[in-house]
Structure 1
Amino acid sequence: MGLSRPTVRKHLNTVEQPKYQRLLTVSPRLDEYKDQLTSWLEEESKLPRSRRRTAQRLFEGLQELGYGGAYDSIQRFVKQWKSSAHGPKITEAFIPLVFLPADACQFDWSQEQVEIGVGALKS
Protein backbone atom coordinates (compact mmCIF):
# COMPACT_ATOMS: atom_id res chain seq x y z
CA MET A 1 0.00 0.00 0.00
CA GLY A 2 3.01 2.28 0.18
CA LEU A 3 2.45 3.25 3.84
CA SER A 4 5.07 3.07 6.53
CA ARG A 5 4.50 1.02 9.67
CA PRO A 6 4.48 4.09 11.97
CA THR A 7 1.80 5.71 9.80
CA VAL A 8 -0.39 2.62 9.91
CA ARG A 9 0.15 2.29 13.67
CA LYS A 10 -0.78 5.95 14.20
CA HIS A 11 -4.03 5.61 12.27
CA LEU A 12 -4.95 2.36 14.00
CA ASN A 13 -4.62 4.07 17.39
CA THR A 14 -6.82 7.06 16.47
CA VAL A 15 -10.52 7.04 17.21
CA GLU A 16 -11.66 9.33 14.38
CA GLN A 17 -10.86 9.00 10.76
CA PRO A 18 -8.11 11.37 9.65
CA LYS A 19 -9.29 14.31 7.57
CA TYR A 20 -7.14 16.38 5.32
CA GLN A 21 -8.14 19.98 5.02
CA ARG A 22 -6.20 22.44 2.99
CA LEU A 23 -5.43 25.52 5.09
CA LEU A 24 -4.83 27.84 2.17
CA THR A 25 -5.57 27.17 -1.46
CA VAL A 26 -2.80 28.50 -3.61
CA SER A 27 -3.49 29.07 -7.28
CA PRO A 28 -0.94 31.58 -8.61
CA ARG A 29 -1.69 30.80 -12.26
CA LEU A 30 -5.36 31.61 -11.77
CA ASP A 31 -4.79 35.06 -10.24
CA GLU A 32 -4.61 36.94 -13.55
CA TYR A 33 -7.73 35.15 -14.87
CA LYS A 34 -9.96 35.59 -11.81
CA ASP A 35 -11.52 38.79 -13.14
CA GLN A 36 -12.43 37.13 -16.44
CA LEU A 37 -13.79 34.07 -14.69
CA THR A 38 -15.83 36.20 -12.28
CA SER A 39 -17.34 38.23 -15.12
CA TRP A 40 -18.30 35.01 -16.95
CA LEU A 41 -19.92 33.63 -13.80
CA GLU A 42 -21.85 36.86 -13.18
CA GLU A 43 -23.12 36.95 -16.78
CA GLU A 44 -24.13 33.30 -16.75
CA SER A 45 -25.87 33.51 -13.37
CA LYS A 46 -28.60 35.45 -15.18
CA LEU A 47 -29.11 32.67 -17.73
CA PRO A 48 -31.26 29.57 -17.23
CA ARG A 49 -29.37 26.65 -15.73
CA SER A 50 -29.42 24.69 -18.99
CA ARG A 51 -27.52 27.47 -20.80
CA ARG A 52 -24.81 27.96 -18.18
CA ARG A 53 -21.33 26.60 -18.74
CA THR A 54 -19.95 23.93 -16.48
CA ALA A 55 -16.63 24.35 -14.69
CA GLN A 56 -15.07 22.16 -17.40
CA ARG A 57 -16.30 24.50 -20.15
CA LEU A 58 -15.07 27.54 -18.21
CA PHE A 59 -11.70 25.83 -17.86
CA GLU A 60 -11.56 25.22 -21.61
CA GLY A 61 -12.46 28.87 -22.25
CA LEU A 62 -9.65 30.04 -20.00
CA GLN A 63 -7.22 27.69 -21.72
CA GLU A 64 -8.04 29.43 -25.01
CA LEU A 65 -7.03 32.70 -23.33
CA GLY A 66 -3.70 31.20 -22.26
CA TYR A 67 -4.42 29.76 -18.82
CA GLY A 68 -1.90 27.02 -18.02
CA GLY A 69 -3.12 25.96 -14.60
CA ALA A 70 -5.06 22.95 -13.41
CA TYR A 71 -8.77 22.22 -13.72
CA ASP A 72 -9.26 21.69 -9.98
CA SER A 73 -8.28 25.33 -9.34
CA ILE A 74 -11.14 26.43 -11.58
CA GLN A 75 -13.48 23.94 -9.95
CA ARG A 76 -12.63 25.21 -6.44
CA PHE A 77 -13.01 28.85 -7.53
CA VAL A 78 -16.44 28.21 -9.11
CA LYS A 79 -17.63 26.30 -6.03
CA GLN A 80 -16.44 29.09 -3.73
CA TRP A 81 -18.03 31.76 -5.94
CA LYS A 82 -21.39 29.96 -5.98
CA SER A 83 -21.40 29.47 -2.21
CA SER A 84 -20.53 33.12 -1.55
CA ALA A 85 -22.95 36.03 -1.80
CA HIS A 86 -22.35 36.26 -5.56
CA GLY A 87 -23.98 32.96 -6.42
CA PRO A 88 -27.67 32.17 -6.66
CA LYS A 89 -29.58 32.57 -3.42
CA ILE A 90 -30.99 29.46 -1.81
CA THR A 91 -33.89 30.09 0.51
CA GLU A 92 -35.97 27.79 2.60
CA ALA A 93 -39.68 28.07 3.08
CA PHE A 94 -42.14 26.23 5.26
CA ILE A 95 -45.81 26.19 4.38
CA PRO A 96 -47.96 24.51 7.02
CA LEU A 97 -50.57 22.20 5.56
CA VAL A 98 -53.49 22.98 7.85
CA PHE A 99 -56.94 23.09 6.26
CA LEU A 100 -60.40 23.87 7.55
CA PRO A 101 -62.94 21.04 7.30
CA ALA A 102 -64.16 20.65 3.68
CA ASP A 103 -61.52 23.13 2.50
CA ALA A 104 -59.25 20.58 0.79
CA CYS A 105 -59.77 16.98 -0.22
CA GLN A 106 -57.75 14.09 -1.53
CA PHE A 107 -59.25 11.41 -3.73
CA ASP A 108 -58.05 8.01 -4.80
CA TRP A 109 -59.71 7.33 -8.11
CA SER A 110 -60.87 3.74 -8.11
CA GLN A 111 -64.12 1.79 -8.26
CA GLU A 112 -65.15 -0.37 -5.31
CA GLN A 113 -68.28 -2.36 -4.45
CA VAL A 114 -69.37 -2.42 -0.84
CA GLU A 115 -72.19 -4.37 0.85
CA ILE A 116 -73.32 -2.58 3.97
CA GLY A 117 -75.34 -4.29 6.68
CA VAL A 118 -76.32 -7.39 4.71
CA GLY A 119 -76.07 -9.70 7.73
CA ALA A 120 -77.87 -7.27 10.05
CA LEU A 121 -81.03 -7.15 7.90
CA LYS A 122 -81.65 -10.95 7.98
CA SER A 123 -82.00 -11.25 11.77
Structure 2
Amino acid sequence: MELLSVIRRWRHRDDFSIREISRRSGLSRNTVRKYLRADSVEPQFTAPDRPSKLDSYADKLSAMLRVETGKSRKQKRTIKQLHADLAVLGYGGSYNRVAAFARDWKAARQREQQTTGRGTFVPLAFVPGEAFQFDWSEDWAIIAGERTKLQVAHVKLSYSRAFTPRAYPIQTYEMLFDAHN
Protein backbone atom coordinates (compact mmCIF):
# COMPACT_ATOMS: atom_id res chain seq x y z
CA MET A 1 0.00 0.00 0.00
CA GLU A 2 1.70 3.17 -1.16
CA LEU A 3 -1.13 5.43 0.00
CA LEU A 4 0.83 6.54 3.05
CA SER A 5 3.70 7.88 0.97
CA VAL A 6 1.23 9.66 -1.32
CA ILE A 7 -0.47 11.27 1.68
CA ARG A 8 2.87 12.42 3.09
CA ARG A 9 3.97 13.81 -0.29
CA TRP A 10 0.71 15.74 -0.67
CA ARG A 11 1.09 17.19 2.82
CA HIS A 12 4.80 18.01 3.00
CA ARG A 13 5.83 18.62 -0.62
CA ASP A 14 2.62 19.88 -2.21
CA ASP A 15 1.31 21.62 0.96
CA PHE A 16 -2.22 20.24 0.65
CA SER A 17 -4.53 20.68 3.61
CA ILE A 18 -5.76 17.66 5.52
CA ARG A 19 -9.25 18.33 4.17
CA GLU A 20 -7.93 18.30 0.56
CA ILE A 21 -5.97 15.09 1.17
CA SER A 22 -9.09 13.56 2.70
CA ARG A 23 -11.16 14.55 -0.32
CA ARG A 24 -8.61 13.18 -2.80
CA SER A 25 -7.90 9.92 -1.00
CA GLY A 26 -11.42 9.14 0.19
CA LEU A 27 -10.21 8.70 3.78
CA SER A 28 -11.55 10.52 6.78
CA ARG A 29 -9.63 13.50 8.12
CA ASN A 30 -8.94 11.61 11.36
CA THR A 31 -7.36 8.76 9.41
CA VAL A 32 -5.23 11.19 7.38
CA ARG A 33 -4.06 12.86 10.62
CA LYS A 34 -3.25 9.46 12.12
CA TYR A 35 -1.19 8.48 9.06
CA LEU A 36 0.70 11.79 9.10
CA ARG A 37 1.55 11.43 12.81
CA ALA A 38 2.52 7.75 12.57
CA ASP A 39 6.19 6.83 12.49
CA SER A 40 5.55 3.53 10.75
CA VAL A 41 6.17 3.19 7.05
CA GLU A 42 2.91 1.48 6.13
CA PRO A 43 -0.21 0.72 8.13
CA GLN A 44 -0.57 -2.97 8.87
CA PHE A 45 -3.95 -4.62 8.52
CA THR A 46 -4.31 -8.17 9.73
CA ALA A 47 -7.07 -10.33 8.37
CA PRO A 48 -8.31 -12.87 10.89
CA ASP A 49 -7.97 -16.54 10.02
CA ARG A 50 -11.43 -17.91 9.45
CA PRO A 51 -12.17 -21.48 8.48
CA SER A 52 -13.63 -21.93 5.03
CA LYS A 53 -15.99 -24.57 3.70
CA LEU A 54 -13.40 -25.16 1.02
CA ASP A 55 -10.64 -26.15 3.49
CA SER A 56 -11.60 -29.82 3.53
CA TYR A 57 -11.81 -29.87 -0.29
CA ALA A 58 -8.60 -27.89 -0.96
CA ASP A 59 -6.51 -30.98 -1.68
CA LYS A 60 -9.11 -32.34 -4.11
CA LEU A 61 -9.36 -28.98 -5.87
CA SER A 62 -5.57 -28.68 -6.08
CA ALA A 63 -5.41 -32.14 -7.65
CA MET A 64 -8.13 -31.18 -10.14
CA LEU A 65 -6.29 -27.97 -11.06
CA ARG A 66 -3.02 -29.89 -11.46
CA VAL A 67 -4.74 -32.32 -13.87
CA GLU A 68 -6.28 -29.43 -15.80
CA THR A 69 -2.90 -27.77 -16.37
CA GLY A 70 -1.77 -30.80 -18.37
CA LYS A 71 -4.69 -30.57 -20.79
CA SER A 72 -5.00 -28.50 -23.93
CA ARG A 73 -6.99 -25.27 -23.74
CA LYS A 74 -10.09 -26.74 -25.38
CA GLN A 75 -10.12 -29.80 -23.11
CA LYS A 76 -9.74 -27.90 -19.84
CA ARG A 77 -12.72 -27.67 -17.54
CA THR A 78 -13.81 -24.22 -16.42
CA ILE A 79 -13.87 -23.13 -12.80
CA LYS A 80 -17.67 -23.42 -12.92
CA GLN A 81 -17.34 -27.05 -13.94
CA LEU A 82 -14.81 -27.67 -11.16
CA HIS A 83 -17.22 -26.04 -8.70
CA ALA A 84 -20.00 -28.34 -9.93
CA ASP A 85 -17.72 -31.37 -9.51
CA LEU A 86 -16.92 -30.31 -5.94
CA ALA A 87 -20.63 -29.82 -5.25
CA VAL A 88 -21.23 -33.44 -6.32
CA LEU A 89 -18.57 -34.46 -3.78
CA GLY A 90 -20.45 -32.56 -1.06
CA TYR A 91 -18.98 -29.07 -1.14
CA GLY A 92 -21.66 -26.57 -0.11
CA GLY A 93 -19.70 -23.34 -0.53
CA SER A 94 -19.86 -20.63 -3.13
CA TYR A 95 -18.40 -20.48 -6.61
CA ASN A 96 -16.51 -17.28 -5.70
CA ARG A 97 -14.50 -19.09 -3.03
CA VAL A 98 -13.50 -21.79 -5.55
CA ALA A 99 -12.57 -19.13 -8.14
CA ALA A 100 -10.45 -17.25 -5.58
CA PHE A 101 -8.70 -20.47 -4.58
CA ALA A 102 -8.00 -21.29 -8.25
CA ARG A 103 -6.60 -17.78 -8.85
CA ASP A 104 -4.29 -18.05 -5.85
CA TRP A 105 -3.24 -21.58 -6.83
CA LYS A 106 -2.39 -20.50 -10.39
CA ALA A 107 -0.45 -17.45 -9.17
CA ALA A 108 1.56 -19.58 -6.71
CA ARG A 109 2.26 -22.15 -9.43
CA GLN A 110 3.41 -19.44 -11.82
CA ARG A 111 5.73 -17.95 -9.17
CA GLU A 112 7.12 -21.41 -8.49
CA GLN A 113 7.80 -22.05 -12.18
CA GLN A 114 9.53 -18.71 -12.56
CA THR A 115 11.90 -19.33 -9.66
CA THR A 116 12.67 -23.05 -9.99
CA GLY A 117 13.91 -25.33 -12.69
CA ARG A 118 14.76 -22.68 -15.22
CA GLY A 119 18.53 -22.76 -14.78
CA THR A 120 20.80 -19.79 -14.69
CA PHE A 121 20.41 -16.89 -17.06
CA VAL A 122 23.66 -15.55 -18.45
CA PRO A 123 23.17 -12.46 -20.61
CA LEU A 124 25.07 -12.44 -23.88
CA ALA A 125 27.59 -9.65 -24.29
CA PHE A 126 29.62 -8.99 -27.41
CA VAL A 127 32.53 -6.74 -28.25
CA PRO A 128 32.23 -4.66 -31.45
CA GLY A 129 32.77 -6.77 -34.57
CA GLU A 130 32.81 -10.08 -32.71
CA ALA A 131 29.58 -11.63 -34.00
CA PHE A 132 26.55 -11.10 -36.20
CA GLN A 133 23.39 -12.92 -37.29
CA PHE A 134 22.68 -13.73 -40.92
CA ASP A 135 19.56 -15.04 -42.64
CA TRP A 136 17.78 -15.10 -46.02
CA SER A 137 14.15 -14.30 -46.79
CA GLU A 138 12.04 -13.94 -49.91
CA ASP A 139 10.17 -10.82 -50.92
CA TRP A 140 8.47 -9.43 -53.99
CA ALA A 141 9.17 -6.10 -55.68
CA ILE A 142 8.02 -4.38 -58.85
CA ILE A 143 11.08 -3.70 -61.01
CA ALA A 144 10.60 -2.04 -64.42
CA GLY A 145 6.84 -2.67 -64.17
CA GLU A 146 7.29 -6.41 -63.61
CA ARG A 147 6.68 -8.30 -60.34
CA THR A 148 9.97 -9.94 -59.37
CA LYS A 149 10.87 -12.34 -56.57
CA LEU A 150 13.92 -11.20 -54.61
CA GLN A 151 16.17 -13.01 -52.14
CA VAL A 152 16.90 -10.69 -49.22
CA ALA A 153 20.00 -11.14 -47.06
CA HIS A 154 19.55 -9.89 -43.47
CA VAL A 155 22.62 -9.05 -41.39
CA LYS A 156 22.26 -7.98 -37.74
CA LEU A 157 25.30 -7.00 -35.71
CA SER A 158 25.30 -8.48 -32.22
CA TYR A 159 26.98 -5.56 -30.46
CA SER A 160 25.16 -2.55 -31.91
CA ARG A 161 22.03 -4.42 -33.07
CA ALA A 162 22.42 -2.56 -36.40
CA PHE A 163 20.30 -4.21 -39.11
CA THR A 164 21.21 -4.28 -42.82
CA PRO A 165 19.05 -5.93 -45.51
CA ARG A 166 20.33 -6.43 -49.05
CA ALA A 167 18.31 -7.79 -51.99
CA TYR A 168 19.57 -10.14 -54.73
CA PRO A 169 17.86 -11.83 -57.68
CA ILE A 170 18.99 -15.34 -56.60
CA GLN A 171 20.77 -17.08 -53.73
CA THR A 172 24.25 -18.10 -54.79
CA TYR A 173 27.60 -18.29 -53.08
CA GLU A 174 28.64 -15.06 -54.78
CA MET A 175 25.59 -13.29 -53.35
CA LEU A 176 26.28 -14.82 -49.91
CA PHE A 177 29.88 -13.59 -49.90
CA ASP A 178 28.83 -10.16 -51.18
CA ALA A 179 26.23 -9.85 -48.40
CA HIS A 180 28.82 -10.82 -45.79
CA ASN A 181 31.28 -8.27 -47.14
TM-score when normalising by structure 1: 0.56
1:110 equivalent in alignment to 2:141: yes
1:39 equivalent in alignment to 2:63: yes
CA offset at residue 110 of structure 1? Answer: 3.3
Q: 1:39/1:108 Cα in 2 relative to 1: closer, same or farther (>3 Å)?
A: same
Q: 1:87/1:44 Cα in 2 relative to 1: closer, same or farther (>3 Å)?
A: farther
1:78 equivalent in alignment to 2:102: yes
Q: 1:73/1:25 Cα in 2 relative to 1: closer, same or farther (>3 Å)?
A: farther
Which aligned pairs between 1:43-122 and structure 2 lie closer than 5 A?
43-85=67-109, 89=113, 99-100=132-133, 103-113=134-144
Residue 25 (structure 2) aligns with: 14
Q: 1:84/1:13 Cα in 2 relative to 1: closer, same or farther (>3 Å)?
A: closer
**Is contact 1:29-1:68 (8 Å) kept?**
yes
Deviations 1:19-39 (A, max 9, x none): xx9946856111111111111
Q: Distance in 2 between matches of 1:39 and 1:14?
A: 43
Q: 1:45/1:10 Cα in 2 relative to 1: closer, same or farther (>3 Å)?
A: same
Q: How many residues were matched structurally?
A: 98
Structure 1 runs not aligned, ≥5 long:
1-8, 115-123
Runs of 4+ in 1 over 6 A off after TM superposition: none
Identical residues among aligned pairs (%)? 25
Cα RMSD (Å): 4.0
Structure 2 runs not aligned, ≥5 long:
1-19, 28-44, 125-130, 146-181
Structure 2 residue matching 1:53: 3-state secondary structure: coil
Structure 2 residue matching 1:111: 3-state secondary structure: strand
**Is contact 1:27-1:73 (8 Å) kept?**
no
Letter matched to residue 42 of structure 1: R
CA offset at residue 14 of structure 1? Answer: 2.1
Q: Distance in 2 between matches of 1:110 and 1:53?
A: 49
Letter matched to residue 61 of structure 2: L
CA offset at residue 82 of structure 1? Answer: 0.9
CA offset at residue 78 of structure 1? Answer: 0.6
Q: 1:41/1:104 Cα in 2 relative to 1: closer, same or farther (>3 Å)?
A: same
Task: Looking at secondary structure, tell me which structure has more strand per residue.
Answer: 2
Q: Distance in 2 between matches of 1:60 and 1:87?
A: 28
CA offset at residue 87 of structure 1? Answer: 8.2
